[in-house]
Amino acid sequence: MGDKLNLEENFIKYKDITLTIMKTVKAEEYEKLDEFFKQRQLILDNINKINYSKEELKKFYLQYDIEKLEKTLASEMKVKKEDLLEKIKENKKRQVAMKGYNNLSAKAVFLSKEF
């Protein structure tokens, strides 16, 4: 019975940390993600140490809707990744434009001195 209770406690912790990761991704607080993923991995390591049957594992997996959480998290992270890549591309375009503008400005000063 103790292992079963411990298994359920770990699934609750896993669900909670996954929800925390989702909130962190939405808030774009990426610097915190590494620590949360480490915590989640420790929970998975604890689950692997527990003596349980496949039926017990499946029961808690379904009960705490872990599959849906995982899919939602993966989807949110993919969207944020794409947004971030788009922002990086836009930033690079601005940098190229500014560099071109600065070069044009420098050439204009140079040309005005020659006349």
Q: Report pTM.
A: 0.73
CA pair distance 74, 21, nearest whole angstrom: 11
The pLDDT of 95-105, averaged and rounded, is 73
For the chain, the structural domain boundaries read: 2-114
pLDDT digits (tens, 9 = 90+) for 19-70: 999 999 999 898 999 999 999 999 999 999 988 889 999 999 999 999 999 9
> Of all residues in the chain, what percent are helix, strand and coil, respectively (each to 5)?
90, 0, 10
Q: Pick from 3, 17, 24, 2: which is nearest to 64 by CA?
A: 17
8 confidence band (pLDDT: 50, 70, 90)? very high
